Amino acid sequence: MRISDIPAVIAKELSIRPQQVESVITLLDGGNTIPFIARYRKEATGSLEDEVLRQVETRLAYLRSLIKRQEEILARIEEQGKLTDELRASVDAAEKLQTLEGLYRPYKQKKKTRASIARARGLEPLANAMLLQTETSGMPGDYAAAYVSDAREVPTAADALAGARDILAETVTDDAELRRLMRERFWKRATLETTLNTEAEDAQTFQMYDAYAEPVRTLPSHRILAVNRGEKKGCLAVRINIDHEENIDWIYRRIFRRPSIFAAELRTAVEDGYKRLLVPALERELRTRLTEEAETKAIKVFGHNLRQLLLQPPLSGHVVMGLDPGYRTGCKVAVVDATGHVLASGVIQVTQSENARRSAADALLKLIKAHNITLISIGNGTASYETEQFAAALIRDNHLAHVHYLITNEAGASVYSASALAKEELPDYDVTIRGAVSIARRVQDPMAELVKIDPQSIGVGQYQHDVSQKELKETLDATVEDAVNHVGVDLNTASPALLNRIAGINAAIAKNIVAYRNEHGRFTDRKSLRKVSRLGDTAFTQCAGFLRIREGETPLDATSVHPESYPLARAILGEIGADESDLTNRSNLPALALKTAQVDAAALARKLDAGVPTVTDILKALARPGRDPREDLPAPLTRQNIESSPTSPSTASCAVPCATLRILEHSLISASSRRDCSTSRR
């Protein structure tokens, strides 16, 4: 493969055009980020989604690494004087590292092996004679007698034949085509079998895998991960079963040419090479393939789950009470205002005596009245159900018609509460109260709070600790980046943790933005970003469109329109009989939305000599300036008591994000936003 082949290879894999891949490669090599390319370079990419762009990025890195390895291998084989035109063509045609390494295997400098020792003893000519199969008369021992040498440590003819068989075993099983074909046979015919170790500590957990067997090609990914976990814990013994005798016969027939005096020796060498060298390698490769494919599917689901959590609709404008349930240590309480500022905190007991419950109810009732609390957010951990019963009774018994509650996923709250960021944000509160603050803030803006936590600590799937942590981290980080940029952030309120996820902004620049904001006051236009230390032209280009400024000097700064497209946006406004000031006049917004909906984007793009995707996106931004895409998700619901159905959006005083779990076809758990939170959470 050559560098010039990469676009065509990736295009074929992803079912897109080579020209699209070429454009993406050019943009990536130019230092552009995936979110920026996905949003603002649609004409170049043919409107490829961020998920496809990341696939291109991943495959590009892999294929470039492959080409580099090809060059290294060709150079090393050429140094040995063994590079033929046919071998060069095979190396150039390889599209997988596994194929490439298979071609290089016979030429690779190996550690001392039985075959290399035999070669050093001068037995390679004897091995070649065996493989040629031209000797038809005499006895193998008589032919091998010529290779007996005390000086070379070959004391007998039998030793000579044994050494030659070692060479043959390695030579036959090193053949790249043979290994490829045998690899296919294992995939199509092998069965994975497990046996339970009843003495193991967690044996009961893996009871279903006792005497379990299934063809490897039909193994679901969740079972592969479960078997791997059981094996790692010492609960399961795993083996790959296949008809080895049939495979040995197949290999022997493949190299058999004619009857010779070495037929039996050749058969013995094939059997030895198959059992000693080939089977262990193929079983490792097969287990690796199964694991990698299962992990890829699982990580994809984990990324989907995280995206659903991040894109839960925010609940703004409410004073929220966060309850972090517990038995022995009590229920931690934190009250935050509409901006997330902590108003009050404490600890109550709701699972102990009736007196303790009454005292807890009195304390919460005072807080609700003092701070006009409208929503109670209850963590879903230990003692969650008892705390929910307590909250429902509090609302019912005190006729708090304006107060609702919800159960909030508290995964990662403890990690956040002990982090350096939490200490910096909440220096006056201990670890337990910080967790309650996080639970309260999560309903106000799930994304803004969740980005403060390492994605791997949020809890996005059953087997997340069994997959490659490096690949999981890369996928989850990319998911967070894509989700945050999909929504955009308020430049004047976003935390460093949130800003750090915006395209083109790293941790240092994020801190500099906040420092500039603290020193100079709120940003009034996007151009002011250029005054931030270390935020240069490249970073500005990447990040500007994702940073919103509400009630600033430039109305377009509150939209997703990139500053580079402001002239085009203003021209579009002129074409539809509007101007930029209409974006800030709420009474004009319905008329503006109607005007943009009536525009023929393609015709307008031709008239303004602009790209249709860009014009289309600008029209959408003008129709709903300041739009938060999370608002398009189903309206979230709340409760006031356990027995009742969730309150509908038309009658609820607040709306609360929730999620549903579903089992996919491969039995991995997937989360998604939903309207009904009525099922049990226990």
- Give the CA-trace dihedral at 518, 524, 526, 530, to 10 degrees: -50
- Give the CA-trace dihedral at 487, 491, 494, 498, to 10 degrees: 50
Q: Report residues of the chain scoring pLDDT below 50.
A: 648-682
List of residues 6+ apart from 512 with CB closer than 8 A: 532, 533, 534, 535
The CA-based angle 284-124-248, given to 5 degrees, is 40
* CA–CA separation, 499 and 511 (whole Å): 9
CA distances from 507 to 37, 85, 305, 338, 495 (A): 21, 51, 25, 26, 11
SS (H, E, C) 4-48: HHHHHHHHHHHCCCHHHHHHHHHHHHCCCCHHHHHHHCHHHHCCC
Q: Domain extents for the chain? A: 3-107, 135-140+148-190+242-306, 319-461
Q: What letter does residue 663 receive in the DSSP assignment?
A: E
Hey, is 331 helix, strand or coil? strand
Among candidates 360, 406, 362, which has minimal Cα distance to 384?
Answer: 406
Among candidates 503, 493, 513, 505, which has minimal Cα distance to 562?
Answer: 503
**What are 156's two structure tokens?**
């007998």
**What are 53's two structure tokens?**
């762009």
- What CATH class is the domain 319-461? alpha beta
Look up the CATH architecture of domain 3-107: Orthogonal Bundle (1.10)
Taking 3-state DSSP, the helix, strand and coil percentages for the chain, each rounded to the nearest 5, stand at: 60, 10, 30
Hey, is 336 helix, strand or coil? strand
Among candidates 449, 420, 424, 455, which has minimal Cα distance to 437?
Answer: 449
Q: Is 317 exposed, middle or buried (0-12, 13-18, 19+ CB in 10 A)?
A: exposed
Convert the pLDDT of each residue in 401-411 to its tens digit: 999 999 999 98
What pLDDT sits at residue 461? Answer: 79
Among candidates 645, 644, 635, 681, which has minimal Cα distance to 661?
Answer: 681
pTM greater than the 0.95 cutoff: no
- The residues facing 195 across adjacent strands are 237
What pLDDT sits at residue 651? Answer: 36
